[in-house]
Amino acid sequence: MQERSFSREAVQDRLKEIRENIAETCDKYRKSGDVPEIMAVTKTVPPEVVNWVFDMGLDLLGENRVQEFQSKKDIYLPEARVHFIGHLQTNKVKYIINDMDMIQSVDSLKLGQEIDRLAAANGKIMDILCEVNIGGEESKDGISPDKLEDMLGELSALGHINIRGLMTIPPPTDSDIFLGRMAELYESLKDKYSMDTLSMGMTHDYVQAVRHGSTLVRIGSGLFGARIYT
């Protein structure tokens, strides 16, 4: 099996480039001071390597898998803010409810109700994003755009979740078109539901996402280097 190697200097150089690309895009397309946050996506990255980014000014981490997070969480620095961004089964919510600052991948009322139930049991209010399948792809999770507002209305009635906004992974082809559609959808709903977060943009499309108003970009391989698949 080929091992994946990491270099602190390489991570720092990649982050510098990401920041420069974001700053250049913001200067062209956004108001002064309107800069999205960068999330370090940690899938398959050892926690010791993830901790490097704290010295580089990042403290927001994105976790895709419950089991992988559980194996890493005790090694992360205590100042880490952690969001769950992967597909989440209702029976796994109990394992992360007290460790996450936000769950970004809420794609059904059933999942939202379970998060609400466990948040109540643990005396907290959980920030969430609703995941939208903006491209209507069968292979991806997320609520259909035409069903989103109904779900938002039902979720907003729950007492122990706080809907902060929307998240999406657009189709890899024509992503610019779908990022634009997602931005329009967010703008049409944000005031009604007091949203402040639009999470879209990954390694391959974060520049386009920033142009379309993303408030949070999720960068994994673009920061830590390409994953090795065996």
Domain-embedded: residue 188 = yes
Check pLDDT > 50 for residue 1.
Answer: no
Closest listed residue to residue 125, CA positions, set 158, 149, 93 = 158
Residue 15 is assigned to a structural domain of this protein? no
* Matching residue, tokens 């982050």: 15
Q: Which domain holds residue 194?
A: 32-221
Q: Is residue 131 part of a domain?
A: yes
Report the alpha-carbon distance of residue 68 to residue 63 in Å, rounded.
8
Reported pTM: 0.95
In a domain, 71, yes or no: yes
**Structural domain count of the chain:** 1
In a domain, 53, yes or no: yes
Q: Name the percent of the chain lying above pLDDT 90.
A: 92
Query: In this structure, is residue 100 part of a structural domain?
Result: yes
CATH code at 46? 3.20.20.10
The pLDDT score that the predictor gives to residue 3 is: 61
Is 99 domain-assigned? yes
pLDDT, average across residues 56-85: 97
CA dist., res. 39 & res. 25, Å (int): 17
For position 173, what pLDDT does the model report? 87
The mean pLDDT of the chain is: 95
* pLDDT for position 182: 98
DSSP single-letter state for residue 227: -
Q: Is residue 116 situated within a structural domain?
A: yes
Half-sphere exposure (Cβ direction) of 53: Cα atoms closer than 13 Å: 28
The encoded tokens of residue 1 equal: 């099996």
